[in-house]
Structure 1
């Protein structure tokens, strides 16, 4: 089972638990329990665990801040404005990132005269080699320009952030390519050259997938098979 599939299962179970808590909040049998708060906490716990795996202190601080705001009174913080609480947790996360955050390490690989820079700091955000690439964005805003000769296989994974990807300057392997795209609850924009011929196999949950423009219909062009998995986010595909 792939990492993205496991992640989608966890998110799916969290959404089901969220829905159950919302239903129970309208029931007469659980009036003493803050079911809506518990529902939001379930989602925040999932976000926290994902950011813990990513080793993002700032990402972990945000769901902790949200949960603290939900239980202000119980924690004795009822007199503090929620904006102050969130700012405090963001500053704590930023401070921990500065203290314990690891600097990115890069290795430079030269093969057949082409130089590839690969990020090897724990988990690479972007990696490419010999027509393959892997792009992973968990939280925050990011723009990535992909320029690969004879692209064979690629993976784009956007969890909760805002990601924009440009394929200008990329060429496709004559035998075609496979592109796996996974968008959780974030916003993803992908810009293809209009000369690209792309077929889409989309699995859309509660989100939205938008197409802007049309791909090439020239059958002599190599085909890109795009496998798209969208959860609750928004994906926009552009052909320009």
Structure 2
């Protein structure tokens, strides 16, 4: 979830103001069954929901709705549907909508996706400036051999994808890698001399760095995208 510094200040300011209003209102009017903690969490869920709608991230849309239903289930009359049915519906809905409505990418990619049985393992080499790798329900290893790397797109679902950049050369100032990872693991093996900028959204996922980035080169690798219920690992080699 992207959130600027000013947006974060506004969020926390609203949370504290709402808590203050609730403390006063609870003494004037009867507000049964609604705690300050639930109100604060509810406001946070609404904020995440707005961010999810703005960036068309179905994980950040459906799960906040599910948590709001759980937090206020007595008031909404949804006690029979919480917590697991609502969470299960949010999970399946997020997976389905993310598969149907893929974010549009504004690049012409060289299709180098895994062929054959997607439930097995695959290792292949590919050349080109703009590359696209797709992997589902399997293990895929990609070795990039190009003297003019421009951009890479990695789409990984319920599998593991490893991409090696040690034989790739960036002719310009930077190259981009776009990650779309759901319920899987994506590992990027990057020369330690490169500078790496990571701007990846994560919903119930993790981003890990291994090794040491020296950053002695003038070339920069910009990593964007999102990882949902999965892990993105950047290994400096």
TM-score by length of 2: 0.55
Find runs of 4+ consecutive structure 1 residues off by over 6 angstroms. 126-129
- Counterpart of 1:43 in structure 2 is 91
Matched, 1:176 2:152: no
- Change beyond 3 A, Cα 1:6–1:182: farther
Distance 1:203 1:25 in 2: 29
What SS does structure 2 have at the residue aligned with 1:9?
coil
RMSD: 3.8
What SS does structure 1 have at the residue aligned with 2:198?
strand
Distance 1:8 1:139 in 2: 24
Matched, 1:227 2:212: no
Please tell me whether the aligned partners of residues 127 and 133 of structure 1 are also in contact (alpha carbons under 8 angstroms): no
Please tell me whether the aligned partners of residues 127 and 135 of structure 1 are also in contact (alpha carbons under 8 angstroms): no
Q: Deviations for 1:50-86, whole angstroms, at most 9, x for unmatched residues?
A: 55679xxxxxxxxxxxxxxxxxxxxxxxxxxxxxxxx
Distance 1:236 1:21 in 2: 33
- Counterpart of 1:132 in structure 2 is 130
Please tell me whether the aligned partners of residues 135 and 159 of structure 2 are also in contact (alpha carbons under 8 angstroms): yes
Of 211, 214, 222, the residue aligned with 1:216 is 214
Matched, 1:238 2:235: yes
- Counterpart of 1:194 in structure 2 is 192
Bigger CA drift: 28-37 or 192-201?
A: 28-37
Q: Deviations for 1:107-163, whole angstroms, at most 9, x for unmatched residues?
A: xxxxxxxxx885699xxxx99774111223344433222222210122223344322
- Change beyond 3 A, Cα 1:128–1:14: farther
Aligned residue runs from structure 1 range 22-41, under 5 A: 22-24=70-72, 29-33=77-81, 36-41=84-89
Aligned length: 171
Distance 2:143 2:188 in 1: 10
- Change beyond 3 A, Cα 1:141–1:129: closer
Q: CA deviation at 1:15?
A: 1.3
- Change beyond 3 A, Cα 1:43–1:201: closer
Distance 2:113 2:233 in 1: 27
- Counterpart of 1:13 in structure 2 is 61
Q: CA deviation at 1:35?
A: 5.0
Structure 2, gaps ≥5 residues long:
1-52, 103-109, 116-123
- Counterpart of 1:152 in structure 2 is 150
What SS does structure 1 have at the residue aligned with 2:212?
coil
Please tell me whether the aligned partners of residues 209 and 235 of structure 2 are also in contact (alpha carbons under 8 angstroms): yes
- Change beyond 3 A, Cα 1:144–1:227: same
